[in-house]
Amino acid sequence: MRSILAVSALLVILFTFILISFNPGYGLFSFGHPEEKSWRIALYKYYIENGANLSGGANIVTDIVFDLRGYDTLGEATVLFTAIAGALALLRRGGAK
């Protein structure tokens, strides 16, 4: 049972590494590209002009963090939970013998 778990963990890690190594920045602008700056400025203007209307909040910073970037925050929390669960699984001592 322990070897099956180790092999499956190794396969998941290997699959993740292969998936990430295939040019993760494909379709993104290079650093300092002029179009990147104009696209970013347009996004900032959209957040500032429509943030309060979309969420109904009074504070634009809170609106962006909790409403417009909610999925990003949920993803970060999921990654953090997975890392903690993985560390606890690796550091667990003892067990049924």
Q: What is the pLDDT of residues 31-81, one digit of tens each?
A: 666 666 777 788 888 888 887 787 777 788 877 777 767 777 788 889 999
Gap between the terminal Cα atoms of the chain: 13
Instruction: Look at the block and give the residue holding tokens 């929390």.
Output: 77
CA–CA distance, 40 with 46 (Å, rounded to integer): 10
Q: At 92, phi and psi to the nearest 5? A: -65, 135
Q: Which amino acid is at 84?
A: I
Q: What is the pLDDT of residues 6-19, one digit of tens each?
A: 889 999 999 988 87
Name the token pair of 68.
Answer: 């417009």
Res. 82 pLDDT band, cuts 50 70 90: very high
**Predicted TM-score (pTM) of this structure:** 0.39
